[in-house]
Structure 1
């Protein structure tokens, strides 16, 4: 199949499944031995990318700095764990074809180009006395995810308390006033006054406190959230390759 990017261009890019979910980093690209076209890629999956799954490039496309694969993330993570020795045998490729439900193509296996995981020695074979080897190492890819840690519920209840309020009240009191009768008043009453008994009633009033209650709103209580950023340290084991030279004596090193 064709692909719009060279192998060395997509190695290390982030791979997403066809639904847009992030799967992992592209580790290796496997080319068809006969057509020289890229057919498979490996994607680092699992915790810290320690696992490597083979995914077909059929239906894949490049999208900026990402590669959108034609399979779902759950299918990719459970792919058969075939060898990662820079070459896919025909039997391994057939196993992958069966797992992904793809039609197998006739071929002699696939070879890997580029890797972030393994080193492949490259020898010149032309007698010039030089050899090169690519050394690789793993790196931690750390991200974050949101998860629920707790809930806060607003609830109100009624409590009873006693209050004392001073209220001014008024009352009527009896007051007796005696005033002398003037001459004019005496003449109007006549020369001789009759002795009689008399009685009059006076009604007294007073105010008494009357207690009533009413519910009135006094305040609003609102609960909100704010984001606080803090640093946490994570640890993980990573592997790296070391290059050693065997069988070279001191004179040849010079």
Structure 2
């Protein structure tokens, strides 16, 4: 397929070399001032596509979204680093012709710009990264708790009611009949009687009885803690660009 006549149909195509290896995106198209034919394109090469290399369009063709050029990728990447202004100077263009081993053509190459006055080209870009804190939690063993029992002796005092018997003397006057009956046998003699006295005494006994159940358990409480750490981030700086041309 022949090359498109319009710059906007070439800019943004992916350039491949004659063996099919991908070279990069087409950034600018340069036309011959006399023939008004596209003569050169710049292709973004190098790390992150930050470098632009001039590639001749002689014997190039388009296949869908691909621009197939007639030179190897390694040759294109090592092309002379000439300026990327609106015009290629005659000496710059001659240097490129000599590098690619092409016959020179009359007319200085000029890049084709869009109606806004800015070059229709794909902007160079890079990815900026930064670190962020991802804070989580993990469960760690911080200690152990044990239940242990041992025997201690303490003194207890308990008040216990006890009963006892005491001797009490009761005197009851005899009635007439009792006196008469006793008088018939009355005589003086010794006599003796016994009374057995009783009393209660405290008796101490011991028994082991269960009184309560003791067990260990855990509960979860939540508290807030502040985590601090240093993070890195990338900053983008542009070198070698006139401040008036920055947007």
Larger Rg: 2
- TM-score, normalised on structure 1? 0.47
- TM-score, normalised on structure 2? 0.49
